[in-house]
Amino acid sequence: MSAADEARVLAAVPDGLLIGGEWRPAGGGARFDVFDPATGTRLASVADGTPDDGIEALDAAAAAQDDWAATPPRVRSELLRATWELVQQRKDDLALLMTLEMGKPLAESAGEVTYGGEFLRWFAEEAVRITGRYGTNPENTGRTIVSQHPVGPCYFITPWNFPLAMATRKIAPALAAGCTVVIKPAELTPLTTMYVGELFRQAGLPAGVLNIVPSTAAGPLSERIMDDPRLRKISFTGSTPVGVRLMQQAAKRVLRTSMELGGNAPFVVFDDADLDAAVAGALLAKFRNIGEACTAANRFLVHEAVADEFANRLTEQVAAMRVGRGTDPEVRIGPLINEQAVGKADTLVRDAVQRGATVRLGGGPVTGSGTFYAPTVLDRVDAGSDILQTEIFGPVVAITRFADEAEAVRLANDTEFGLVSYVFTRDLARGQRMIEGLRTGMMGLNVGVISNAAAPFGGVKQSGLGREGGFEGIHEYLDVKYTMTPNPFA
């Protein structure tokens, strides 16, 4: 990709807030800048939505709600499908845009275009399968009808780490179910969501069904929208502390709530594992997205009999990974999103080293321009280290050893989070015991990547509530109604 490609893609991002089907300036005309984390250079200036703009976006969503809910499911389905087709046509541009604003290598951005796009296609297929039930009550005195109805206008808040997929994973099921949407993308990466918003418009989505309000005032904007009685649902992807705060705000008006929050994934390697597969899985589970994924393996728990071999092989592969700007096709590790992310990873690494961890590779920020952290492998990490209880969100492997299965389960579950776990074993019964024993919403059994539009993504414990994707995803946007009728033969 050339500098001309970069300029062309950036120029194609629409300017303004998407409200009522039109891109328009923010109230007061305020704007904010978006930067390339690999170079620190300014990529674009974006309209900065105010709380009043948020209410105007909700006005548009509320005005469009009844018509959208009454739009035939087949039409809703075809609009999602048409947007998916536009995403396919623009996939290279979308991938480049994501790499520019977020930093991940181009090949991974292309992977996210496929993954994020799949939610449009999957929920296009689900839109026409919203069903109900008709039944006889046990006493045979009546007939029960169970029907499903769109929840109503929804508000979405998304993070910067997967700028496309985190948006489509919410927008697609909501639109399929007949709900209208206001979305606030992350301040650090709004451009991809804006670009996709324009694709929805080009596909023919009616005005007001999808409204996009980038903003630097996440707190006040969200509070205003969530205080409005027309809003019926909040769905958030981001950190657990912000999710907790939003749940408290949602409680005031008893909003339907979906929360996709932080993780602290254990990656468990048993002594009977296929070590080649475990190392390949580890590279994906840890280094995909520069380690900045809620699903990133955070704690490597390795049986003591194979720990040296696993660590040696993994370190050798990680040492070969090129660090740099994601637009270079040879690069495997892009920049972290900002200085704070570098500082956080480094503080965790220093704490672990102070407590006795061995540095097999890396161990600090990369000097020079951009916010890069050296791919790092720490071994023999002490149980009391902060890195074992905190989401690292960076390219750092932390290895701890265990002696037997019971210890592996105890260590894996020793966290308030419960998003995903990874287990490598050749023993089927052991794998089944892990499915039942590890308290996470998802598991990778002998695989390092679990995300798929057809699967219900989500966590337990402080990793969140609700599921995105799969058959379950659309139910986050449907209210169940039950109607009792008399026995027509009585």
Instruction: Give the footprint of ligand NAP on this chain (CB under 6 A).
Output: 157-162, 166, 184, 186-188, 218-219, 222, 237-239, 242, 245-246, 260-263, 294, 391, 419, 459, 464
For ligand NAP, the closer of residues 148 and 289 by Cβ is 289
For ligand NAP, the closer of residues 153 and 363 by Cβ is 153
For ligand NAP, the closer of residues 162 and 372 by Cβ is 162
For ligand NAP, the closer of residues 324 and 456 by Cβ is 456
The answer to whether 80 and 170 have CB atoms below 8 angstroms apart is no
For ligand NAP, the closer of residues 279 and 345 by Cβ is 345
CB of 109 to ligand NAP, least distance (A): 15
CB of 311 to ligand NAP, least distance (A): 25
From the list 108, 260, 292, 476, the catalytic residue is 260
CB of 202 to ligand NAP, least distance (A): 25
From the list 112, 126, 294, 391, the catalytic residue is 294
Q: Which one, of 363, 362, 305, 372, lies nearest residue 338 by Cα?
A: 372
CB of 219 to ligand NAP, least distance (A): 4
Kindly give the residue spans of alpha helices, DSSP state H, lying in 31-72: 51-70
For ligand NAP, the closer of residues 222 and 440 by Cβ is 222
Q: What are phi and psi of 124, to 5 degrees?
A: -60, -35
Instruction: Mark whether 294 is an active-site residue.
Output: yes
For ligand NAP, the closer of residues 259 and 331 by Cβ is 259
CB of 283 to ligand NAP, least distance (A): 20
CB of 123 to ligand NAP, least distance (A): 17
User: HEC profile for the chain?
Assistant: CCHHHHHHHHHCCCCCEEECCEEECCHHHCEEEEECCCCCCEEEEEECCCHHHHHHHHHHHHHHHHHHHHCCHHHHHHHHHHHHHHHHHCHHHHHHHHHHHHCCCHHHHHHHHHHHHHHHHHHHHHHHHCCCEEEECCCCCEEEEEEEEECCCEEEECCCCCCCHHHHHHHHHHHHHCCCEEEECCCCCCHHHHHHHHHHHHHCCCCCCEEECCCCCHHHHHHHHHHCCCCCEEEEECCHHHHHHHHHHHHHCCCEEEEECCCCEEEEECCCCCHHHHHHHHHHHHHHHHHCCCCCEEEEEEECCCHHHHHHHHHHHHHCCCECCCCCCCCCECCCCCHHHHHHHHHHHHHHHHCCCEEEECCCECCCCCCCECCEEEECCCCCCHHHCCCCCCCEEEEEEECCHHHHHHHHCCCCEECEEEEECCCHHHHHHHHHHCCCCEEEECCCCCCCCCCCECCEECCEECCECCCCHHHHHEEEEEEEEECCCC
CB of 429 to ligand NAP, least distance (A): 30
CB of 367 to ligand NAP, least distance (A): 25
For ligand NAP, the closer of residues 54 and 105 by Cβ is 54
Distances (CA, A) of 343 to 52, 104, 210, 347: 35, 19, 37, 6
Instruction: Mark whether 260 is an active-site residue.
Output: yes
Catalytic residues: 260, 294
